[in-house]
A and B are shown apart, each in its own frame.
Chain A
Amino acid sequence: MNASSIPWLTLLTAIPLVGGILILGSHLPDGQRPRRFGLLFHALSLGVLALIFTQFDPAVGSMQMVERWPWIPSLGTEYHLGIDGLGLLMLALSCIVLMAATAFSRRDIPSGRIYHGLLLLLQAGLHGAFTAQNFIHWFFYYELSLIPAYFLVKLWGGPKRGVAARTFFLYTMAGSAAMLLGFLATYAATGSFDFAELAQRGKGFDGGLAAIYNVRLGLPELSTRALGLLIFFAIFLGFAVKIPVWPFQSWLPLTYSEAPAPVAMVLTGALSKLGVYGLLRIVLPIFPEQVWQTQDLLLCLALASIVFSAVAALAQTDVRRMLGHLSISHLGYCVLAVVCASRITPLDGNWEVEKQAALTGAMLQMFNHGVIAALLFGLAGWMEERVGKPLEMGSMGGLRQKAPVFAGIMGLAVFASMGLPGLSGFVGEFLIFKGVFALVPWAACLATLGLLGVALFLLNYLRTTWHGALSGDSTRFADLTVRERAWVTPMVALILLLGVHPQLALKWLNAAAVLLTERIAI
């Protein structure tokens, strides 16, 4: 069989789906075996992913490995899969993060069969969403990823898991409902759910989609512009909740602090990327005009995410809540870059380069943030496992004396998170700043406040928890075991490698970023 005729993307979604159903239907007892079973399927996904990497041509910016069959013709829905460089890296990220989350999970987790089954289903949802080229398909998997996440928080979470899971689920569902309504309106006006086709219609000087809405939907009391904005905001809201963007972020700190640590790894490392991915794949190409019209407002929201979260993190006493705020702040940079890239620029000058910088930076930052944040949450989980209770700032001190290797890895993750050059966080941030500074200088200047805030609270965390005199619960704190070191090593290697040689990740993204820049030029 020819390699190009294998439906790779379907296969990649099917593996965790089948694995999840198998393990949920099995009678594996608690203990090592469900975890091993999960790891096996994640390894299979990684293997298929590696094969996809060999098949993928980085020089092409458009969709590759396309699979397209009619599905529900009466609804304009096709089974339409495809990835570009961004999709490819997101698939890689979800494979890495899910694998790590499974590996970081406690071995004696109760009802391990269900836990690992749900993780696999979650991965199936992610893979389906990252490969979808059609809204119905996308929405199906987008929602599919939410349900396992809800149960994972609800069943294995901390003391306030009930509230956390409910808030998380309802909030995200509200966003999804708004998005669904927006797309139904779009379908009613255009008769299509296909992303590429909608992007074609969204482009152009004649009002793009807004004009079509106005003609087809027949709401004379709303102006063309208002109607376009209304539908745009409905769809934006869905992603804004998912990322989350200020002021829709209040579900996040609670959820991240109550979820089991490996689930928090997945939530921040992979699930939150669905939101930014949606902005890049759906919002920006289909609604470039609306993003541009509301640019100032969106910039303010992105800046608020960056700065307010970084500042609010200063006041947190719970380590995981603090890390949650960190996540909001970092994804705010991606949103900032996406919004700035929509700026309508004069034809002269090198604006394309700046937009490409912003978009490439956002894409790279998504990947790197996923790995770094997952590592941070995973390490926090191990700390909790050792201490046996949620991590309070100031309840421990001097851990570095007890666990130097643990401290070293934690320090690396923290500094990567602060964007230290040589570690992977830097290049993405630099590219974002480069693009944003050229396109909207004041936004870049304000965004630097976030850099400062992040450094303040992260170093505070290192100082109070890891440095200083031994105190509190830290006297029995054990260093990383050999097994733990083995699991951490690949992530650390990835952080170092992409910091020194970012081209490894960038080469997959460049063509996609160039194409996206062309598409959004009005």
Chain B
Amino acid sequence: MTGVLDILWLIPALPLLVSAILSLTPARVKGGAAPLSIGALGLGFLIACAALAEAVSDPGQVRAHNFTWFEFGSSAVKIGWVLDPLSALMLVMVTFVAGWIFVFSIGYMSHDENFTRFYCFLSLFTSAMLGVVMSNSLLMLFACWEVMGLASYLLIGFWHHRPSAAAAARKAFIYTRIGDIGFLLGMLWLYAETGTLLLYDNGAGCLEANALTQLAGAAISTGMAASTGIALLLFCGAIGKSGQIPLHVWLPDAMEGPTPVSALIHAATMVAAGVFLMARIHPLSTATASAKPIVTATAPANATAQSAQPAVRMEAAPKSQAHAEAAAKPTEAGGDSTSSPTLTLNVMAWVGALTALLASLVAVAQYDIKRILAYSTVSQLGFMFLGLATGGPAVGVFHLLTHAFFKALLFLGAGSVIHGCHEEQDIRRMGGLWRRMPATFGTYAVGMMALSGVPLLFSGFWSKDEILHSALAWSGSKWPFALGLVAAVATAFYMTRQMAYVFFGPHRGHPAMYEQGHRIPVTQPHESPMVMTLPLGVLAACAILLTVVGTPMWPWLHSVLSGHAPEVRREVSVGVLFAMLISILAAGTGFTAGWICYMRRRASGFNDGDPLQTRIPSIWRCLESRGWIDELYKMSFGIWTAAAGRFCDWLDRIVLGGGVRMIQNAALATAWMGRLWDEFFLNGGFARGCEQTRNSADRASLVQNGQIQRYLRILAGALALVALWIIWK
């Protein structure tokens, strides 16, 4: 047994333990929280690195450790964890990024009275996220996924006394739960079809060849294969969690949470869990009844090499290794150009591309610094799904990893800006900050360039380029590529706009702030302390350094994720170069447009309208109000749910309750009728009879009331009468 696999469980267990300890710690004890949480993550990071080394030493092998969670009836439910390049890379990324965000939070949250609680929730979240990425069972994944949702709820609503934060927390939980219901049903369906929820179990897992063949063959009445149905249902969960259209509306609202939370949960990790899920179950999305899994597995798995241009030939994997991979990851390649993509991939590509485009357009017209980044996250997640659908898991996950670093960097940078500007979030009230916050400015610029895809030096360029390239080479429609391309232009544009507003031009601080007589004189924005700028520097370095593992010349990450040994490539195909050229052009267009609009004509006051607003007011209004989607949902589902609630309540109280009351009243009425009948009719007649008898008896009794005098009187009277009668006679 390998050593690292046995202690892999420690990675999520340590933060969980810390969270449990902190939940019992009184709020006034602040000292130990941060060191304890960071220490647990640091230890986890070391184990994760060891695990990564182990995983990449033989990338094709999937190591799993399964055990029984509970038994029901005569069967057992097993869960377990898995060590393969995907889980190892995610473990390293999550522990690393989360660790630096924890460090940043020391500075950012230092004044908060619930400091300890904050670290408790953060640790709970990290534990759940780590559980998601390493779980080898869909059930365990779902369980951690839900706990992650709870942690997100708690952290969005961390400042629960703000009504907006409380509302946003609820909204996030509800919207993700809508997706999760799809996830649950998909999982149940999978369970019913295959009888297991383990992903890898020595050939008996549900992502292994046997189960996939069975799933692809089983069809429901509409002709849809079970594998397609299941994958689509699971994708619903991913849509909810990763904020894709139409469930994306919760993510921008989630920015009500403290900024480190936005960085960790709503940018770098949790929202990417949806992408991770689809990468994990990718064999399910690609399974088709006809495809022989082994054949596709031996095809070159690098999407970059799968272009129509056969200039570069990858060395075929050794036969034995290929078979080992086939058992583990049967349908690796997403873009087999001869067969059309499955329905799942089509849906995923379209949802991803549409989300990428629409969210990036909305981001252009926002003024809240965190909201811009939130829409940018939604858009980038769309890119990931597009990459996943068109180029396979390696492409999507590469962007996931690079995005985690530079988006965490951008959010932390935004946090530093907000902190420095005294909780100001409106970019119209910023400006000229590059002079006052040089460290933040420098690192933010790196993040911005990585996000918008500045060529060659920045990791975001390579990962986005790979997505665009595989979308271009995709055998399905070309439209997703076109949408993605426009989204890439828009990305560069809104990031330039944001930079221009925040860091350049004159400072446009809130005049009221100076007048209200703050205790701390709010004269100037200031640079953040070292504990906040250091994480920025580290993440900025990563945003650049990650380039090394993903260039077409040495696609280490890609090979490892596809289960191959990494190798150096000396030639690069024309298709790759063409795609690179396109993405450079896209980024360049965005920059230039942004430069023309914002850098040249710098806004000097708060009330200066946005240049675009004056030119295209109607479109601007639509984008600024985020397409009125929130309003649409409120007007439709919100009203319908409330109406349904009232209807059911009415049914309850009036119809059913009323029915019961009617029966009750009918019974009562019957009883009263009976009483009346008894008293006035039956009883009445009887009583009257009695009365009369008594009366007559009374009268009769008068004659024998025992008084001698009366008897004598009567006797005398009678005697007199008799005497009279005799005389008369």
Residues of A bordering B, CB below 8 Å: 167, 170-171, 247, 249-251, 253-254, 308-309, 311-316, 350, 352-357, 359-361, 398, 400-401, 404, 408, 415, 420-422, 426-427, 430-431, 433-434, 437-438, 441, 444-445, 448, 451-452, 455-456, 459-460, 462-463, 466-470, 501-503, 506-507, 509-510, 513-514, 517
Smallest beta-carbon distance B183→chain A, Å: 11
Smallest beta-carbon distance B3→chain A, Å: 26
A314 touches B641 (CB 8 A): yes
Q: Could you list 29 examples of A-B contacts with CB < 8 Å?
A: A250-B653, A250-B656, A250-B660, A308-B648, A314-B645, A314-B648, A350-B195, A353-B73, A353-B195, A355-B73, A356-B73, A359-B73, A360-B73, A404-B27, A427-B70, A451-B177, A452-B178, A463-B167, A466-B160, A467-B157, A467-B163, A468-B161, A468-B162, A501-B70, A502-B69, A510-B72, A513-B73, A514-B73, A517-B73
**Chain A residues closer than 8 Å to B73, beta-carbon distance:** 352-353, 355-357, 359-360, 510, 513-514, 517
**Chain B residues closer than 8 Å to A438, beta-carbon distance:** 188, 191-192
A250 to B654, CA, bound (A): 10
Q: A426-B143, A452-B177 are in contact. List 19 more A-B contacts (CB 8 A).
A: A171-B660, A249-B652, A253-B652, A254-B657, A311-B644, A313-B645, A314-B642, A314-B648, A352-B73, A355-B73, A356-B74, A360-B73, A421-B147, A422-B146, A434-B191, A456-B174, A463-B166, A463-B169, A501-B70
Question: Is B595 part of the contact surface with A, judged by Cβ < 8 Å?
Answer: no
A311 touches B648 (CB 8 A): yes
Residues of B bordering A, CB below 8 Å: 23, 27, 69-75, 139, 142-144, 146-147, 150, 157, 160-163, 165-167, 169-170, 173-174, 177-178, 181, 184-185, 188-189, 191-192, 195, 641-642, 644-649, 651-653, 656-657, 659-660, 664
B142 touches A421 (CB 8 A): yes
Instruction: Closest B residue to A427 by CB, please name it.
Output: B70
- The 10 A-B pairs of least Cβ separation, nearest first, read A356-B73, A314-B645, A421-B143, A467-B166, A312-B648, A315-B645, A315-B649, A437-B188, A250-B657, A438-B192
A308 touches B163 (CB 8 A): no
B70 touches A506 (CB 8 A): yes
**Chain B residues closer than 8 Å to A316, beta-carbon distance:** 649
A400 touches B160 (CB 8 A): yes
A315 touches B150 (CB 8 A): no
A421 to B137, CA, bound (A): 14
Smallest beta-carbon distance A348→chain B, Å: 14
A106 to B652, CA, bound (A): 32
A321 to B645, CA, bound (A): 14
**Of the residues A312, A360, A459, contact of B72 by C-beta under 8 Å:** A360
B163 touches A468 (CB 8 A): yes
A455 touches B645 (CB 8 A): no
Smallest beta-carbon distance B561→chain A, Å: 28
Instruction: Closest A residue to B647 by CB, please name it.
Output: A311
Smallest beta-carbon distance B128→chain A, Å: 9
**Chain B residues closer than 8 Å to A254, beta-carbon distance:** 657
**Chain A residues closer than 8 Å to B166, beta-carbon distance:** 462-463, 467-468
A439 to B72, CA, bound (A): 16
**Chain B residues closer than 8 Å to A308, beta-carbon distance:** 648, 651-652
**Chain A residues closer than 8 Å to B659, beta-carbon distance:** 250
A463 to B70, CA, bound (A): 35
Smallest beta-carbon distance B234→chain A, Å: 14
**Chain A residues closer than 8 Å to B185, beta-carbon distance:** 437, 444-445, 448
**Chain A residues closer than 8 Å to B178, beta-carbon distance:** 452
**Chain A residues closer than 8 Å to B647, beta-carbon distance:** 311
Smallest beta-carbon distance B170→chain A, Å: 4
A152 to B160, CA, bound (A): 38
Instruction: Closest A residue to B654 by CB, please name it.
Output: A250
A167 touches B664 (CB 8 A): yes
A253 to B142, CA, bound (A): 33
A459 touches B656 (CB 8 A): no
A404 to B161, CA, bound (A): 12
Given A311-B645, A315-B649, is A444 in contact with B188 using a C-beta cutoff of 8 Å? yes
A434 to B139, CA, bound (A): 11
A426 to B195, CA, bound (A): 20
B192 touches A247 (CB 8 A): no
Among A314, A445, A507, chain B packs the most CB atoms within 10 A around the CB of A314
Smallest beta-carbon distance B532→chain A, Å: 28
**Of the residues B70, B157, B163, contact of A469 by C-beta under 8 Å:** B163
Smallest beta-carbon distance B38→chain A, Å: 24
Instruction: Closest A residue to B189 by CB, please name it.
Output: A437
A507 touches B71 (CB 8 A): yes
**Chain B residues closer than 8 Å to A420, beta-carbon distance:** 146-147, 150
A357 to B656, CA, bound (A): 33
**Chain B residues closer than 8 Å to A467, beta-carbon distance:** 157, 160-161, 163, 165-166, 169
**Chain B residues closer than 8 Å to A513, beta-carbon distance:** 72-73
**Chain A residues closer than 8 Å to B660, beta-carbon distance:** 167, 171, 250-251
A514 to B165, CA, bound (A): 48
A250 touches B161 (CB 8 A): no
Instruction: Closest A residue to B154 by CB, please name it.
Output: A411
A356 touches B75 (CB 8 A): yes
**Chain B residues closer than 8 Å to A462, beta-carbon distance:** 166, 170
Instruction: Closest A residue to B660 by CB, please name it.
Output: A250
A509 to B642, CA, bound (A): 40
A422 to B157, CA, bound (A): 21
